[in-house]
Amino acid sequence: MKAVVMAGGEGSRLRPLTVGRPKPMVPIVNKSVMAHILDLLKNHGITDVVVTLRYMASTIQDFFEDGRNLGMRLTYVVEESPLGTAGSVKNAERYLDDTFLVISGDALTDFDLGRIIQTHREREALASLTLTHVANPLEFGVIVTGEDGRILGFQEKPSWGEIMSDTVNTGIYVLEPEVLEMIPSDVAYDFSTDLFPLLLQKKLPLYGYVADGYWCDVGTIEEYRRANADLLFGKVKLSSPIGQHVGGGIWVGQDVEIAPSAQLFGPIYLGNGVKIKGDVTIYGPSVIRDYTIVDAYTRIERSILWRNNYVGENCELRGTVVARQCSIKSNVVAYEGVVIGDNNVLGEGCVLHAEVKLWPHKEIEAGATVKDSIIWGNQGRRSLFGRFGVTGVVNVDLTPEFAAKLGAALGATLPKNSYVALNRDIHRSSRMLKRALISGLPGTGVNVWDLGTVAIPVLRHFVRKHANTSAGIHVRLSPFDQRVVDIRFIDHNGLNQSKAAERAIERSFFREDFRRAYLDEIGLIQYANRPIEEYTEDFLAHVDVDRIRQAHFRIVIDYSHGLAADTLSHILNKLGVDTVPLNARMDETKLAMLQHEFHANLERVAKIVGVLDADMGIQLDVGGEKIFLVDEHGRILDDLTAAALMVELALYAHPGRTVAVPATMPNAIDTIAAWHEGRVLRINNNLHSLMTTAQQSDILLVTDGTGNFIFPPFQPAVDGMMAVACLLEYLAVRQAPLSEVVSYLPPMNLVRHLVNCPWDAKARVMRELHRQHTVNISDNIDGLKICLENQEWVHIAPDPDRPYLEVVAEGQDPERAQQLVNQFSAQIQALIETVNQP
């Protein structure tokens, strides 16, 4: 016997799940609903199947092909225009010359098809309808039958006042080929409303068979959830298990990883390659399909997650359906009834209220609260660039195809035949994305210098010193999160790209407006020669080698398993510095460290300094850009103290010069500058501003109080290796130990605090703060700086990447600074509540 599977449905009531796929391709636990139907047919010996298609027909054809992989033969018939249920089967008439079964490709059932066919033949029926009992028949066609099973009447989607039975049509029919002669060709014609009433009117043998077993019309989101839950609870008889049962009502596919501290309460299905991280809690019935990652401390209840999703730390998903390839950042909350379409990005800390539906390709900004469904709006990311360049979870946000497109977007903004220099850290994720970036550049007519793996300052130096190099790219694992990769863009001066340049790259990326080079204009890919040697030679020309040699320093230095080890160890050897190196071996598993791990390493440096009686301890970040200091007594210097120390040493060695610092640096910097007849230039607190300022001819030093130091005579960019050398040179000039210089520094009482502030309230809150404190505002550098009595001040600025306002206060003592922060934070919170009122 042949079967006809009707698979032309759009599934409009299932949107947004069916925006990018036909209804029969929506998955129920481990496979699509149509795949479940084909399994049912095969299990009953029906392997010759005609599939009627209309909406997104090629999706089904491409997936199932000719059915050979299933041990079946599939023939496809595509409707050019909507023909209705009966019309679609009429369209396949040429393949149907004997009794055949018609079944919907978008319903889940385990009916005994053999018994249905046998009953049809025993009754010598022309058409047999498979019926079932349901509690709520309002959305179905109700069928009234006699005691012999003969159909007596139809009610199509009746109201409660019209209902005569709870027996409904399941859309499964057994038909004789003569029935097709009664269906007109090439017009819309339906079984329930047209053909069967006609057969009833002509008193032809039309029967109904009430089948035992499970049946669910997967027509709405609610029914979709129910079908998944019923399958997990074992209410559906399957020909094969959904996966390996590991106990507790938990089924898993292949290569599933479940952390020992995770808690799972079945029934739950975990597909192939699923990763469940530490302290995750999952309550069933829940489905997590192939290659989805659920990060630590997340809680999932009664939810369905499709393939290739990423769920960040500390999320809560309650009764939520998530389609394919979504990136859900940390601390997201989604309440019952939420449906998230394909390729959505949910920013950190956003909240989705009950019944919200997100159509595909939306980005919800961090901290946003969504109360209504989002159908239209911006497609894709809100912005490519953040504080650390283009940042995202590897293979979720940042994929090879994304990186290739990003490379082409950069190339389209540069002159033809120019060069872009690329390097990376040693992690395999960085290698993959760097190669993808490289692949996108030559097609735009741009050449590539491949620097391999070198420290970021070496890349900056290379770009500056090679006139034909228009830009640089560094790919690294984020030092804060091993799941995240940063792609940092550098301009022709070795500085971070300007906002204008970033916007140009973004426009090119989103418009896909890529220049295509002709055959003989395609760019070259070349390996750079001697970038570390060039850097070292120029480096040594900008420090007083003899003075440092004569000081005979002994230092403990932690390289954090980063790229600076090879370069800086050679330089320190040239400078005659006796070093005790730590973590000098590059290790891709140690590139990202939690805050407590970083501090533990710094404390280890401090202990070793004390034991070995070294002159100081230094810890570099993994990229070789930042340094962190320990004095000769093993005391760790906080970042502000280290910055003030460097200002004091630099101005002592070069009095009367100018240092540049952000507006939020303490008054102590001005005091130190006054001691040495120097000048302080206050600037914006971002790396591009620091580096741009460093290009001015009279600048001696730029620092931001977070471990970043720029020494412009060498290069106007952050360079931890040069910071180490200059620190040694200045101490040699000062001829005093580190602790003694620190003891001279003025007191610094600075407190910082972040206040949660929705994105759409930031500007209005800042406007109101400006209005209320106009008299006391000293400058508008990077926010508002409000000057108070006794040289106290408060600085308020919007965070550029997150839904926060940063409050920084300096007081006469730590308690007063904390009091100011609390006072202004409360004022900001009150303003937020005011502007959010309707």
**Mean pLDDT on 774-778:** 75
CA torsion, ordered 590, 591, 595, 598, to nearest 10 deg: 70
Cβ pair 367, 351 in contact under 8 A:
no
| DSSP notation for 93-106 | GGG--S-EEEEETT
Name the token pair of 118: 């046998």
**May I ask the CATH class of domain 542-744?**
alpha beta
Token pair belonging to 114: 């053999």
For 272-303, how does the pLDDT look when each residue is reduced to its tens digit (9 = 90+)?
999 999 999 999 899 999 999 999 999 999 99
For the domain spanning 750-835, the CATH number is 3.30.310.50
Alpha-carbon distance of 44 to 96, in angstroms, equals 19
Q: Which pLDDT does position 385 carry in this prediction?
A: 86
User: How far apart are the C-alpha atoms of 758 and 805, rounded to whole Å?
Assistant: 9
pLDDT at 114 over 50: yes
195: left (phi over 0), alpha (psi -120 to 50) or beta: alpha
CATH classification for the domain delimited by 244-370, as one of 3.40.30.10, 3.30.70.20, 2.160.10.10, 2.30.30.90: 2.160.10.10
Give dist(CA 270, CA 300) in Å, integer.
Answer: 13
Does the domain at 2-217 match CATH 1.10.3720.10? Answer given as no
pLDDT of residue 296: 92
**Could you tell me if residue 619 is left (phi over 0), alpha (psi between -120 and 50 degrees) or otherwise beta?**
beta
- pLDDT bin (cut points 50, 70, 90) of residue 837 is low
- What mean pLDDT comes out for the span 651-678? 95
837 CB burial (10 A radius; 0-12, 13-18, 19+): exposed
pLDDT in tens, 208-256: 898 999 999 888 999 999 999 999 999 999 888 899 999 999 999 999 9
Dihedral Cα 28, 33, 36, 37, nearest 10 deg? 160
Q: What is the three-class DSSP state of 44? A: coil
pLDDT, residue 162, reads 42
Tokens of 402: 């994304």
Lowest mean pLDDT of 153-167, 229-243, 741-755, name the range.
153-167
Q: Is the pLDDT of residue 358 over 50?
A: yes
Would the pLDDT of 558 be above 60? yes
Structure token digits, residue 716? 């106007």
- For the stretch 3-34, pLDDT in tens is 999 988 888 889 999 998 899 999 999 999 99
The residues, any chain, with a CB within 8 Å of residue 112's CB and separated by 6 or more, are: 44, 211, 212, 213
Burial class (CB in 10 A: 0-12, 13-18, 19+), 755: buried
Give the number of residues written for the chain: 838
Residues 485-531 pLDDT 10s:
999 999 999 999 988 899 999 989 988 878 888 888 999 999 998 99
pLDDT of residue 155 exceeding 70, the answer is no
pLDDT in tens, 413-432: 999 999 999 999 999 999 99
DSSP letters spanning 738-792: HHHHHHHSPP--EEEEEEE--HHHHHHHHHHHHHHTGGGEEE-TTSEEEE-GGG-
* pLDDT in the model for residue 380: 42
Helix residue ranges, H only, 512-594: 531-541, 545-551, 564-574
Burial class (CB in 10 A: 0-12, 13-18, 19+), 32: buried
Query: Which tokens sit at 624?
Result: 């070789």
Alpha-carbon span 332 to 347, nearest angstrom: 8
Q: Give me the torsion for CA of 280, 283, 284, 286, rounded to 10°.
A: -40
- Return residue ranges of the chain for CATH 3.40.120.10: 385-522, 542-744
Closest by CA position to 179, among listed 259, 112, 252, 102: 102
Please say whether the dihedral angle defined by the alpha carbons of residues 300, 288, 220 and 248, taken in this order, is positive or negative. negative
Tens digit of each residue's pLDDT (9 = 90 or more) over 163-197: 455 678 888 999 999 988 888 888 888 888 888 88
* Strands (DSSP E) found in 464-593: 469-477, 484-490, 525-527, 554-558, 578-582
Structure tokens at 128: 């047999």
Query: Within the chain, how many helices (H) and strands (E) appear?
Result: 21, 55
In a 3-state reduction of DSSP, which class is residue 658?
A: strand
CATH of 385-522, one of 3.20.20.140, 3.30.450.20, 3.40.50.300, 3.40.120.10: 3.40.120.10
In this structure, the number of other CB atoms found within 10 A of the CB of residue 381 comes to 18
Residue 799 has phi, psi (to 5 degrees) of -70, 130
More confident call, 679 vs 757: 679
Cα–Cα distances in angstroms (integers) from residue 392 to residues 97, 329, 367, in the given order: 57, 10, 17
pLDDT at 137: 60
Do 425 and 623 form a contact (C-beta atoms < 8 A)?
yes
- Report the share of the chain in percent with pLDDT over 70: 96
Distance CA 567, CA 193 (A): 80
pLDDT band at 838 (very low <50, low <70, confident <90, very high): low
Place of tokens 């971070």: 496
Q: Which residues of 277-293 are buried (b: 16+ CB within 10 A; e: fewer)?
A: bebbbbbbbbbbbbbbb
Residues 335, 300: Cα–Cα separation, whole Å: 11
pLDDT one-digit tens code per residue, 719-739: 999 999 999 999 999 999 999
Partners of 327 in beta bridges: 310, 345
**Spatial distance between the Cα atoms of 694 and 704, rounded to a whole number of angstroms:** 12
* Intervals of CATH 3.90.550.10 along the chain: 2-217
Nearest CA to 66 out of 51, 45, 53 is that of: 51
Which amino acid makes up residue 474? Answer: H
Q: How confident is the model at residue 381 (pLDDT cuts 50, 70, 90)?
A: very low
Instruction: Report residue 488 as tokens.
Output: 């940092």
CA angle 348, 353, 356 (to 5 degrees): 100
- pLDDT score of 370: 87
Going by C-beta distance under 8 Å and a sequence separation of 6 or more, which residues neighbour residue 58? none
> Taking all residues of the chain, what is their mean pLDDT, rounded to a whole number?
90
Task: Tell me the average pLDDT across 641-664.
Answer: 95
Q: For residue 85, is pLDDT > 90?
A: no
Least-confidence region, from 129-143, 171-185, 437-451? 129-143
- Is it the case that residue 606 has pLDDT exceeding 50? yes
CA dist 338 and 358 (Å) reads 8
Cα gap 770→714, rounded to integer Å: 40
pLDDT digit string, tens, across residues 575-602? 999 999 999 988 887 777 777 888 899 9
Q: Would you state the pLDDT for residue 288?
A: 96
pLDDT over 90, % of the chain: 62
Instruction: Please report which confidence band the pLDDT of residue 160 belongs to, taking 50, 70 and 90 as the band edges.
Output: very low
d(CA 143, CA 647): 88
Q: Of residues 399 and 775, which shows the higher confidence score?
A: 399
Q: What is the mean pLDDT of residues 465-482?
A: 90
Contacts (Cβ under 8 Å, ≥6 apart) of 639: 628, 705, 706, 707
Please report the sign of the dihedral spanned by the C-alpha atoms of residue 161, residue 163, residue 164, residue 166: negative
Q: Measured in Å, how far apart are the chain's first and last C-alpha atoms?
A: 65
Q: Where in the chain is the domain with CATH 3.30.310.50?
A: 750-835
